[in-house]
Homo-oligomer: A and B are copies of this chain.
Amino acid sequence: MKKVAIGVDIGGTSVRLGVVDERGKIVLRENFSTKDYPGRPALLNRLSSGILCLALEARKRQFQITGVGIGAPGPIDVERGFVYFFPNIPGWKNTPLKKILERKFKMKVFVDNDANAMALGEYRFGAGRGSKNMIALTLGTGIGGGIVLGGKLFHGTRFSAAEIGHLKINEDGPLCACGNHGCIEAYIGNGYFVREVQKRLKAKAKSILHEWLREGKELTPKLVQDAARTGDLFSKKMWEEAGSHLGTALAGLVDILNPDRIVIGGGIALGGEMIFGPIRRTIAKKAFPIAARSAKVMPAKLGADAGLVGAAALALT
């Protein structure tokens, strides 16, 4: 009998559900738009029926369901499966999500935050496979992080560990949305990166980007990547700098946690060697030799599915 778990990846834009097998394969899936179900009762209902349908279909196929795993976009009490709040979805303050769903489905339910779910997904089925101590980060608008130690997600005392984006690499660095200065997110979060490029373009940096923007292209990290690929020196330098800032933060993590794997995903990570090169060089230069040598830096493998597969992995034991 094939063992599967139901994974749910709750996002501010969409909710992704799936039936995932022990090899991390998504055998059934479904999405819906978060905005179509405003308010907690509506979203909870829609979530429940989504889970129910997947469970029925899975049972029809004679799968054995080990439980339901949920990745959620906000701080969670992981032990109780309790949602403190979702910064981008109103109405969820203090929701005992695990309790509600376990009562409804008579199945084991596990809840964790989305960054941890993604990290677990990569660890079990992606770029983290075979490692022992792994750090995962997703570079997007913000930086999400998850830490696996000795094969298990590490949560810390109050489940708020792995806030990697707010490691500070310069006490007088750029202002971050968190109110502090020099957080790594304030260098490499999408918005900051684009703003810095903009600023330097205005200060008359020479770049093909001027031309592209006049043609009506939108300034995104991807556009700067494309420019760098054409050999644009300014764009290359922007990526080199971003990678080297991130490398400084990671060198610190390498010295503290001595991981054997660092997995980096998200839009910016698609830059390949352009960004991974300076990251690796900076870690080699700034971290302790023994620790630097044991930390293999790799791009994430599961892409947009990491959160869903990882959520299921919470329940695949």
Query: Which A residues form the contact surface with B (CB < 8 A)?
Result: 75, 132-133, 147, 149, 154-164, 166-172, 178, 180, 245, 248, 251-253, 255-260, 285-288, 290-291, 293-295
Contact = CB atoms under 8 A, between A and B. Distances in A.
Given A252-B252, A253-B256, A285 B158 contact: no
A178 to B, nearest CB: 8
Contacts of A260: 157
B133 A257 contact: no
A290 B158 contact: yes
Please give me the 5 A-B residue pairs with the lowest Cβ-Cβ distance, nearest first. A156-B258, A163-B255, A161-B258, A157-B260, A167-B252
A142 to B, nearest CB: 13
A156 B259 contact: yes
Contacts of A160: 255, 258, 288, 290-291, 294
Contacts of A257: 154, 156, 161, 256
11 contacts: A155-B258, A157-B294, A158-B293, A159-B258, A160-B288, A161-B256, A163-B291, A164-B256, A166-B255, A168-B286, A170-B170
Contacts of A166: 252, 255, 287-288
A231 B168 CA distance: 32
Contacts of A255: 160-161, 163-164, 166-167
Tallying the copies of this chain within the complex gives 2
Given A149-B149, A294-B157, A285 B163 contact: no
A38 to B, nearest CB: 27
A119 to B, nearest CB: 13
A154 B149 contact: yes
A214 to B, nearest CB: 34
Nearest to A255: B163
Contacts of A288: 160, 163, 166, 178
A258 B158 contact: yes
Contact of A169 (B132, B155, B164, B168): B168
Contacts of A164: 255-256
A157 B171 contact: no
Contacts of A180: 285-286
Contact of A168 (B133, B155, B252, B258): B252
A171 B133 contact: no
Contacts of A291: 156, 158, 160-161, 163
B161 A294 contact: no
